[in-house]
A = this chain, B = another copy of it.
């Protein structure tokens, strides 16, 4: 428990106070004795979203991104800065932050892709790249905006940190301790591996789900098909209701890994197609049975954990 006890800081600055940033702020303020941030400042593109965060008590003060003086004040003496905006904004945001960045401040982010974020951070921060610890909290995004922010959003969720060679170990540990204080499990992984893993288990399924709806829409009897779609279709396409802008950015940002996954998937589908064409029931049944066994085993392991206490003992970024 020493990691958790050691965690606390005076000033957290969040760029983008929506579901992800707002939930971090609420977790650090409301989860009692596990650690905290004495002062949280929200910075946003729109005055309306930071005003709402202030109204809800999620942040203590706000600053407009375009206001040099306010931004300087916000960043002065900041312990941690979280970027919780779409990944395509990483470089412009860091360029905006750089002139006001204190040498002891650690910046982290919450983007779904990491190699592109690292490249953007290197371009924007140059010699101060050691101050940037890339991160990715794996948390649901069915709803968005600060009104959807919850103090327990990260309980029993995974957070991946992709530490850079330039990062000081205590900088990485500080960000890990912050996330553990929210109830999350923190894991370390290089950015390239992160992008490969999430291309496979998250980005590819989103593309495949969008593609099925697109295929039906393009068919002459789309209405008829939709009218008989049932539970299997509902589950399979739930993620096709996700944000087009976010997934456009993810696809472009994680292009290389995602193309590899699409190619691998196309090859698996071609093998199944051949088996179907040949009426090769044995191959089909073997593949389906293997998938079902693996999916069921995953479901067992992934079942919600009863207690958030385990987070303190999980693998931490080194």
Measured CB to CB, the residues of A under 8 A from B are 138, 140, 142, 157-158, 160, 187, 193, 196-198, 200-202, 204-219, 221, 224-245, 247-249, 251-252, 255, 258-259, 261-266, 268-270, 272-273, 276-277, 279, 281, 284-285, 287-292, 294-296, 298-299, 301-302
Partner of A217, one of B206, B210, B279, B291: B291
User: Cα distance A242–B231 when bound, in Å?
Assistant: 12
Can you pick out 12 interface pairs between chain A and chain B where the beta carbons lie within 8 Å of each other? Answer: A158-B230, A196-B221, A197-B221, A201-B229, A201-B230, A213-B290, A214-B268, A215-B261, A237-B291, A240-B295, A242-B292, A255-B276
User: Cα distance A204–B247 when bound, in Å?
Assistant: 23
Most interface-central of A138, A201, A266 (chain B CB within 10 A) = A201
Partner of A249, one of B210, B225, B235, B281: B281
Let me know if A226 and B201 touch, CB within 8 A: yes
Say whether, besides A212-B265, A264-B215, A201 and B233 are in contact (CB < 8 Å): yes
User: Cα distance A180–B7 when bound, in Å?
Assistant: 63
Let me know if A248 and B140 touch, CB within 8 A: no
Partner of A264, one of B140, B205, B219, B237: B219
Let me know if B236 and A236 touch, CB within 8 A: yes
Let me know if B219 and A200 touch, CB within 8 A: yes
Let me know if B245 and A285 touch, CB within 8 A: yes
Say what secondary structure dominates the interface of chain A. helix
Chain B residues positioned under 8 Å from A216 (CB to CB):
200-201, 294
Let me know if B262 and A226 touch, CB within 8 A: no
Let me know if B225 and A201 touch, CB within 8 A: yes
Closest to A284 in B: B248
Let me know if A290 and B228 touch, CB within 8 A: no
Known: A211-B272, A234-B302. 18 other contacts (CB 8 A): A140-B231, A187-B228, A201-B230, A205-B232, A205-B233, A210-B288, A212-B265, A214-B268, A214-B287, A217-B290, A217-B294, A240-B291, A241-B296, A251-B284, A262-B273, A265-B269, A266-B269, A266-B273
User: Cα distance A291–B243 when bound, in Å?
Assistant: 10
- Distance to closest chain B CB from A271 (angstroms): 9
Partner of A236, one of B140, B225, B235, B272: B235
User: Cα distance A248–B233 when bound, in Å?
Assistant: 18
Chain B residues positioned under 8 Å from A213 (CB to CB):
290-291, 294-295
Let me know if A259 and B273 touch, CB within 8 A: yes
- Distance to closest chain B CB from A238 (angstroms): 4
Closest to A289 in B: B244
Chain B residues positioned under 8 Å from A227 (CB to CB):
301
- Distance to closest chain B CB from A261 (angstroms): 8
- Distance to closest chain B CB from A276 (angstroms): 5
- Distance to closest chain B CB from A123 (angstroms): 17
Let me know if B241 and A299 touch, CB within 8 A: yes
